[in-house]
Every structure is written in C-alpha cells, then in structure tokens.
Chains A and B, each alone.
Chain A
Amino acid sequence: MPLIRGSKGTTSGEISAPHRAALDSPDAESRWTAARALAGQADAVPALAAALDREPTPRVREAMMTALIRIGNAASIEVILPYLRSEDAGLRAAAIEALQALPDAIAPFMAPLLSDDDSDVRLLATELARNMEASEATRLLCELIEREHHPNVCAAAIDVLTEVGTPEALPTLEKCAVRFAATPFLPFAISVAMSRISGAES
C-alpha cells in the first residue's frame, strides 16, 4: 500500500490547535467535536486536562475521557487519576472505566494507588487489576491484602482475585481468613475465591 503523507508536513500540533481552542467554546457540540478530534493526539493532553476539569456536560466529559484513553500514555493517566477522589460518583465511575480500558499503561501506577492513604481509592484501584496480566494482578493484590486493615478493601481485592487470581494467592487468602475471622462476609468470600483458584489448579 502506498504511504500517504500528511499535507505539506503539517504537524499534529498545527492540526489540533483549532480543536484545542474549541474546547473553550460555550457550545457543548463544538466541545464534543473538538474532544473527538483530539483523540490520540498526545500534545493535546494539557488542553484536554484543563477542559475536563471545567466541563459541565456529561457526554462531552465522556468524549474527553475517550480522547485521553486513545492517547493512553502516562500523562493522560495522570489527568484521569485525580477523578478517583471526586465527590461526584459519576466522575469516579467514569475515571475507573477509563483507566480499566488501559490495563498496560496503568500498571506503573498500581502500587502507589493500592497504597494510597484513602481507603476509597485503594478499593477502586483493586478493580483496575481485573484487566491486568494474572500473575502481576495477583502479586499486587496479595501485597495489598497482606497489609490492608479495611475489610471492604480486602473484600474488593478478593472479588478480583476470584476471577483473575493464580494459585500464588492461596497462602495470602488463608492468612486473611484468619485475620478477618470475625468479619462475617470475608471468610465466605475467601472460601469462594480459594475454591475457584484451586479449581483452576486441578
């Protein structure tokens, strides 16, 4: 197939400049179109970050998140991460969905997220491990469970391990069941997880 060159050496920055400007438009349709056009353009991350922060229209926010997913680099992830702490449940959910779509790019951010001071952030971060490679997800979640004191965070991690965990998780789960023996739902969740993971071993 012949190579199709860009018109007269135009850079992506030049192409995206009008769209970046349109992110400030008072018209939601223009902002939507601009966000869609900037999908995958790495130099648009700062403009998308600023626009996302002030965007009032849910569908335009959605398009901005998708644009950042299409860029999919560390800078775009750093834009999305703070929304895990949003007071707005819709924004937290949008951030999680966006980050879940980037299982490879999120990997370097997982350890700090799973050690975050905020238990809600740790809980949300467990879900990000679901789409990761199984042994890495198991390692990260087991490290979390070993040091975690919040039963809800452990429960979230165990739920993910039930689907993706490898047999290396079994000792950690056993210890967790002992530690949280008095918490009614955790030993049950752990027994289900262990049974699924052991089943995978047979």
Chain B
Amino acid sequence: MDDSKGGSSHAAHISPEQVQRFCEFIYRRTGMLFTESKRYFIDRRLEDRIAATGSSSFQEYFSLLRTDADHEIEHLINSFTVNETYFYREDHQFRCMTASLLDAIVHQKEPGGTVRIWSIPCSTGEEPYSIALWLMENWPQVDNYNIEIVGSDIDTRALNAASEGVYGDRALMRLSRDVVSRYFRPIAGGYHQIDEGLRNSIEFTRANLIDPQDMRQYRDFDLIFCRNVLIYFDDASRRLAAENLYDCLQPGGYICLGHSESMSRISPLFRVSRFPDAIVYQRPEADHG
C-alpha cells in the first residue's frame, strides 16, 4: 500500500474507548495484547496509520482495518512489531531447543541419525544461521548426529541474500565478539560474511506456507521454527498453514511460533508443550479420540 497519502497534518484524536475497542480487535485478530501501560505506544502508532491511510477519523480507519483493505492489518502489525531480524532473536526458544527439545527428539534416534530442523520463513537467513551457531555453541551432542537445517521463504530475493550470508553490525548485536570472530569474516563496507562451511551446511529453498502442493516436498522435520508469520494470515489461511505444518513434522515433532502467536487459537491439531524456557507445540505421536 502507498503510505504517502498523508492525510491530515493534525494527529487524529483517539479516545480511551476507541483504544479499548482497537486493543480488543487486535488481540482477537493477532494475539498481540496491549495494556493501558502501552497507551502512548498505541496512540502514536494508531495516529501514524490513520494519517498514512488518509483516514479522517478513528472510525474510518477502524472500518478500513476490519475489512483489511489494502492489507492494512499487515501494515498495522508491522508498525507494532520489530520487523528487523537479527541473530539470536527470541533466544529463549533456542535455549529450549538445546535444553529440552533436542533431548526429546534424539531419545528415539540412534547416534549418527538425522535431526531435521526447518526455519520458515527464514527471510535473509539470520534465523537458520542462528540455529546452527546455537547448536554448535550450546549442544554437547552436536557431533553425534547428522543435523540438517533447511531455511525457506516465499521471497527469492531474501533467499539469495541468505545464501550470501552478509550482515551488518546490527544483525550481529546479540552475538559475542568471540562468536563473531570465529564464524564471520569482515568484508568491505563494514559488513561480515558468515563462514563458508556454515553457508554450505544450510539448504535455502523457496516455499509458500499456505500452498499444499508447495509444502508437499517438505516432510519429516523434527523441529520447525515458524515465527511471526501466522499473525499476518486470515483465519482460513492460518488453518491451512497449520495443517501444512502438521504434515511437514514427524509425529512427536515440535513447532516454535513467535512470542505473540498461539497455535491453540489457530488449530487443535497440536498439543501444547511447556518447557522451562518456552512454550512450544507438538504434533501428537498418534491420533486420539
């Protein structure tokens, strides 16, 4: 959508009742919960979106939002969330992976067996490379198994960038200097390129999460990271994505969603699994009922 419509130069007045209404809608639609303490944050972003869409009032903007005209829900979510991706983002899930999930996954595998991990959408590669780095740094059994990491995205430009593995300082801000020095090499312009061996160890592929045909080639994953994408989908697409992800997982396999996402609100196909570091979702081993 064109964000240059401008609208009024005055900030739209938003009443407390309107904020309540907005917050309830956005919670039901996306799972993002905002309390009164975030009032300033909400007002600023709402005012920005009202202006950007050329709406003359909250009422007009709210109607536009509810009908998702011009993908406004996506624009709104983007304004409320951290769009930039970086290494070790939401690292509690990586801690959960090495402290709990992988032990459960390899429990039924022979040493030397294969552990398949999928990052979808992987954007420009920060997440799948983070998984690889975290495993090498934090999982004592990393050399006992054949670990396959696949990064997929619908955007082929992002995939090309992921394969290149070139990042600026901001993307690396959560990594220790030691890790950066061991796995990256400095290149021109102040950028850093990730180690060639790591780049070659991850398979980057194009995939559309809501296309069953597309997803058919992805099977037998033990662990899927599918973070901060389902909130953008409508109800029908979310259901379809959940079923596709179910088929891509091994029975007993796990899926990690973004911090504001809940599979329980989308589909009953998965079981909630609570671990000390994170809540994740598990494909049941067998059908019940």
Q: Which of A51-59, A148-156, A177-185 binds B?
A: A51-59
Given A39-B212, A163-B25, A199-B18: A62 in contact with B58 (beta carbons within 8 A): no
How near does chain B come to A184, taking the closest CB pair, in angstroms? 22
A202 within 8 A of B: yes
Contact across chains for B243 and A199 when beta carbons are under 8 A apart: no
Produce 1/0 per residue, B223-241, CB < 8 A to A: 0000000000011100110
How near does chain A come to B41, taking the closest CB pair, in angstroms? 19
B185 within 8 A of A: no
Which residues of A sit under 8 angstroms from B66, Cβ to Cβ? 133-134, 164
- For the complex, would chain B's binding face be called helix, strand, loop or mixed by DSSP majority? helix
Given A199-B15, A200-B21: A134 in contact with B63 (beta carbons within 8 A): yes
What residue in chain B is nearest A137 (Cβ atoms)? B66
Contact across chains for B236 and A70 when beta carbons are under 8 A apart: yes
Question: With A and B bound together, what is the CA distance between A77 and B20 in angstroms?
Answer: 33
- For the complex, would chain A's binding face be called helix, strand, loop or mixed by DSSP majority? helix
Which residues of B sit under 8 angstroms from A126, Cβ to Cβ? none
How near does chain B come to A29, taking the closest CB pair, in angstroms? 9
Give the contact-size bracket for chain A: 20 to 34
Which residues of A sit under 8 angstroms from B201, Cβ to Cβ? none
How near does chain B come to A87, taking the closest CB pair, in angstroms? 15
Contact across chains for A58 and B21 when beta carbons are under 8 A apart: no
Q: Which of A6-14, A94-102, A107-115 binds B?
A: A94-102
Could you list 14 A-B pairs, sorted by A, with CB under 8 Å? A28-B287, A36-B212, A39-B212, A57-B289, A58-B268, A59-B269, A66-B240, A101-B235, A134-B63, A134-B66, A162-B24, A199-B16, A199-B21, A200-B62
User: A: which residues have CB within 8 A of B?
Assistant: 28, 36-37, 39, 56-59, 62-63, 66, 69-70, 72, 97, 100-102, 130-131, 133-134, 162-164, 195-196, 198-202
Apart from A198-B17, A200-B58, 19 more pairs, CB < 8 Å: A28-B287, A36-B247, A58-B288, A58-B289, A59-B287, A62-B239, A66-B240, A66-B243, A72-B236, A101-B236, A102-B236, A131-B235, A134-B63, A162-B21, A163-B21, A163-B24, A200-B17, A200-B18, A200-B59
